[in-house]
């Protein structure tokens, strides 16, 4: 039995010697059984390098280089975000766009996408029909405007895009949640809500007037 105790004592001492006391600090490199390529020869940002004459690991871009897309030899406007209409809501003169950019096609599928994004990100504050009576109003947020206000009915599409992108007043930016295309889809759906709330008989196509009992 004595040898059993001695063996256990030896194992404990050996384990503590190899692994150290739990929670103790050590300046030695930790024991890594499986390093998994964690330590590789590489340069870190702004590090020094004896290979280059200027001693810098970071290399300047060659003169005249521009950013390119990943699959084409032609500069990718989407990658560069060079389309000011699509990504800024402005025309070539820098004025707010008063229409939808040519890069998007406003159709039923586009409106459905806009409705989907609107319900997720906009309806909680602006309400399901854009009247400013979202669920947040029940919790004290009473400054949410209605999209059916005359000012917002006449506001340029580009300015709405800018507000979604950068935020305004108590509204934060949604650029991290909605892509540029999705922002335009939301705007298209907002315009549909505005049109529906202020529509007249004249807006009903002749072929559908009978469905409303209109001759």
Backbone phi, psi, residue 168, to 5°: -160, 135
Backbone phi, psi, residue 193, to 5°: -65, -40
What CA–CA distance (Å, rounded) separates 171 from 152?
15
Q: In this structure, what CATH number is given to the domain that contains residue 120?
A: 1.10.760.10
Can you give the pLDDT at residue 72?
Answer: 47
* Domain range enclosing 115: 108-203
Instruction: Please tell me what DSSP assigns to residue 97.
Output: P
In a domain, 188, yes or no: yes
Helices 180-197 + 108-117 axis angle, to 10: 100
- Stretches where the chain sits below pLDDT 50 are 70-74
Instruction: Please tell me what DSSP assigns to residue 211.
Output: G
In a domain, 81, yes or no: no
In the structure encoding, which two tokens stand for residue 128, read together?
């399901």
Cα 122 from chain centroid? 15
Can you give the pLDDT at residue 71?
Answer: 45
In a domain, 102, yes or no: no
How many distinct structural domains can be found in the chain? Answer: 1
């Amino acid at each position: 039995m004595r040898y059993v105790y001695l063996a256990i004592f030896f194992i404990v001492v050996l384990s503590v010697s190899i692994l150290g006391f739990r929670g103790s600090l050590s300046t030695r490199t930790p024991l890594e059984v499986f390093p998994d390529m964690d330590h590789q020869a590489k340069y870190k940002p702004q590090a020094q390098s004896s290979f280059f004459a200027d001693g810098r690991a970071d290399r300047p871009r060659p003169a005249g280089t521009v950013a390119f897309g990943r699959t084409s030899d032609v500069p990718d406007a989407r990658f560069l975000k060079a389309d000011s209409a699509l990504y800024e809501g402005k025309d070539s003169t820098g004025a707010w766009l008063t229409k939808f950019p040519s890069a998007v096609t406003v159709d039923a599928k586009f409106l459905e996408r806009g409705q989907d994004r609107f319900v997720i990100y906009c309806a909680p504050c602006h309400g399901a029909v854009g009247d400013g009576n979202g669920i947040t109003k029940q919790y004290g947020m009473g400054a949410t405007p209605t999209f059916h206000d005359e000012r917002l009915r006449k506001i340029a599409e580009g300015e709405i895009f800018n507000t979604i992108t950068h935020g305004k007043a108590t509204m934060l930016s949604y650029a991290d949640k909605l892509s540029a295309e999705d922002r335009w889809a939301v705007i298209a759906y907002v315009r549909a809500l505005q049109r529906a709330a202020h529509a007249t008989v004249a807006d009903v196509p002749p072929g559908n007037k009978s469905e409303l009992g209109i001759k």
